Amino acid sequence: MKCPVCNFTDSRVLDSRPAQDGASIKRRRECPSCGKRFTTYEVIDTVPIAVVKRDGRREFFDKHKLTVGIERACQKRPVSAADIAADIETELQNSIVTEISSMDIGEMVLQRLKEVDIVSYIRFASVYREFQDMDSFVEEINRLGKKGRRRAATRSAGDKND
């Protein structure tokens, strides 16, 4: 590691410790030439993921943009938008894809919101699926209601068999 003071091309590591919840390593270093100490951070190099927008444009995945979109849907609801965005980012980083459509990311968000909070799910779906009128809302709510009744009926039938 090059010294930021004298540009000597070597340095000695004095201390290493995890930083940013284990996402990086903080190292205290000392330059053997000038004796100055400095700090470096070592992070995992990730492959950038391109997001293909509806209009065909491509841009790099931005966790902050995803979090802001989820936060709007979860406003005043007991849901952590940051956790959902981090979960999706981790899933994308662990996959082998280098390009994903914004529609697929939207479906990933909807799946997670449906599991944790139906109100947030409906809010996000209204923007993501571009509901144009009240009928679109009612249709989505009815669809959710039918699935919920089927799940409840299946659970009740399972309870009777026990």
pTM greater than the 0.75 cutoff: no
Phi and psi of 129, rounded to 5°? -90, 5
Do 121 and 113 form a contact (C-beta atoms < 8 A)? Answer: yes
How sure is the predictor about 47, in pLDDT bands with cuts at 50, 70 and 90?
confident
Which helix (DSSP H) or strand (DSSP E) does residue 59 occupy?
strand 58-60
Burial (CB count within 10 angstroms: exposed 0-12, middle 13-18, buried 19+), residue 26 = middle
pLDDT in tens, 76-133: 999 999 999 999 998 998 888 899 999 999 999 999 999 999 899 988 988 887 888 8
SS3 for 38? Answer: strand
Handedness of CA 57, 62, 64, 69 (dihedral sign): positive
